[in-house]
């Protein structure tokens, strides 16, 4: 099964590169040296250690948010609250770092834990609402993403704001709470190792434990799981809470690894990237790692082209968006659970 998933992901990545060339070549031809544009996009991310570090830096939060999505998808829950969980996780971690006068060895784990607990509400509440009222977790989780942002902005503006800063931001974090770079000339920090280890643990949990088997059975349909005596409702809620905690934990790691103060005024997009990575990885936690690195590679390549040749960022974003749309479309078509979900919603809308 793992070999089949790997082959499917490799085909998806190959198709992604093909689409990338199809949409990038016409743009490159608009410039005096189209070959240089193509080379910069495709090979530029590997030219310097700093650029390769940027790939890992971008992939780190995507691995964790994708893992959260995979766990929920494998349980049959189509919860998209990872974006809001990520945001609140970063905010709560920042607040705890500023408010807790504790040594970093104790304060950092407690801050990350607090962020994970608070952020889990964005994914956990939709699960509870569905269990009690039958409302779609897809809709409620999307709505809660916006609620999480506005709650976060309120807390930032009235409780964390640095009045001496020129923009809306919190006070600076104590230097000892910041994650140090593991590789010179990069911003790769310990969170990257945590993300890789988390994906490995996620794979072991889903494929080598009885609880993981229950998750996978629950994802196949409630009728079958009820026949086996599983409490799918409770399991579904628990996995969505765990997924929210992982996504919020990612937000806390991102905050302490890359920022000196909390400055987010909107969602970061890491949650949505995690959804794309999860789909490309075919809901396989191990394949999340190369899929996240690939998406990071696309982002770094686009940024290099934009800065080196003056290609408008809107065009670069459009190229990346077209690639993402094509890849996710193919992945959804090959994803039985997602295809069934989309078809089910279409049938309900027609009625």
CATH number for position 19: 1.10.3470
240: left (phi over 0), alpha (psi -120 to 50) or beta: alpha
Conformation bin of residue 169: beta by default, left when phi > 0, alpha when psi is -120 to 50: beta
Q: Which of 348, 310, 281 lies closest to 74 in space, CA to CA?
A: 281
Top pLDDT among 331 and 297 is at: 297
Residue span of the structural domain in which 9 resides = 2-350
Q: How far is CA 9 from the centre of its chain?
A: 18
**pLDDT for the residue numbered 142:** 92
Residue 99, pLDDT > 70, answer yes
Q: How far apart are the first and last CA of the chain?
A: 37
Cβ-contact 245, 92 below 8 angstroms = no
Q: Provide the number of structural domains found in the chain.
A: 1
d(C-alpha 179, C-alpha 195), whole Å = 14
The secondary structure of residue 136, as a DSSP letter, is -
CB atoms within 10 A of CB 255: 31
Could you read off the pLDDT of 142-173 as tens digits, one per residue? 999 999 999 999 999 999 999 998 899 999 99
Both tokens of residue 35?
């070959």
3-state SS assignment for residue 33: coil
pLDDT digits (tens, 9 = 90+) for 41-77: 889 999 999 999 999 999 999 999 999 999 999 988 8
**How many CB atoms lie under 10 A from the CB of residue 229?**
6
Q: Report residue 333 as tokens.
A: 């078509």
Local structure of residue 6 (DSSP, 8 states): H
Q: Which of 218, 242, 236, 215 is nearest to 121 (CA)?
A: 242
Q: Compute the distance between CA of residue 272 and CA of residue 66 in angstroms, rounded to an integer.
A: 9
| Cβ atoms of residues 93 and 262 within 8 Å | no
What was the pLDDT predicted at 1? 54
What is the pTM (predicted TM-score) of this model?
0.89
Name the DSSP letter for residue 335. -
Distance CA 127, CA 247 (A): 15
266-303 tens-digit pLDDT: 989 999 999 889 988 888 999 999 989 988 998 899 89
């Amino acid at each position: 099964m793992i070999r089949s998933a790997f082959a499917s992901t490799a085909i998806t990545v190959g198709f992604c590169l093909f689409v990338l060339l199809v949409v990038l070549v016409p743009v490159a031809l608009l410039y005096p040296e189209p070959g240089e544009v193509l080379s910069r996009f495709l090979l530029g991310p590997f030219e310097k250690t700093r650029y390769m570090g940027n790939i890992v830096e971008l992939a780190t939060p995507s691995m964790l948010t994708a893992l959260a999505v995979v766990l929920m998808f494998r349980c049959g829950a189509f919860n998209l609250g990872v974006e809001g969980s990520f945001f609140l996780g970063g905010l709560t971690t920042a607040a705890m770092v500023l408010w807790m006068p504790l040594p970093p060895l104790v304060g950092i784990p407690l801050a990350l834990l607090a962020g994970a607990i608070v952020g889990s509400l964005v994914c956990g509440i939709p699960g509870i609402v569905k269990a009690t009222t039958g409302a779609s977790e897809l809709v409620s989780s999307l709505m809660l993403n916006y609620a999480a942002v506005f709650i976060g902005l309120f807390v930032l503006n009235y409780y964390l704001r640095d009045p001496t800063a020129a923009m809306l931001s919190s006070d600076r974090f104590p230097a000892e709470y910041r994650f140090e770079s593991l590789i010179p000339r990069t911003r790769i920090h310990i969170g990257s190792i945590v993300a890789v280890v988390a994906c490995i643990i996620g794979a072991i949990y889903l494929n080598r434990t009885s609880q993981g088997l229950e998750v996978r059975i629950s994802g196949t349909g409630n009728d079958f799981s009820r026949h086996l005596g599983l409490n799918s409702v409770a399991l579904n809620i628990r996995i969505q809470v765990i997924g929210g905690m992982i996504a919020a934990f990612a937000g806390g790691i991102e905050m302490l690894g890359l920022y000196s103060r909390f400055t987010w005024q909107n969602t970061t997009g890491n949650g949505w990237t995690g959804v794309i990575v999860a789909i490309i990885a075919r809901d396989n936690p191990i394949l999340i790692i190369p899929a996240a690195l690939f998406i990071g590679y696309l982002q770094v390549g686009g940024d290099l082209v934009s800065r080196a040749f003056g290609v408008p960022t809107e065009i670069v974003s459009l190229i990346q968006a077209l690639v993402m749309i094509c890849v996710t479309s193919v992945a959804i078509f090959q994803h039985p659970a997602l295809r069934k979900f989309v078809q089910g919603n279409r049938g309900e809308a027609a009625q």
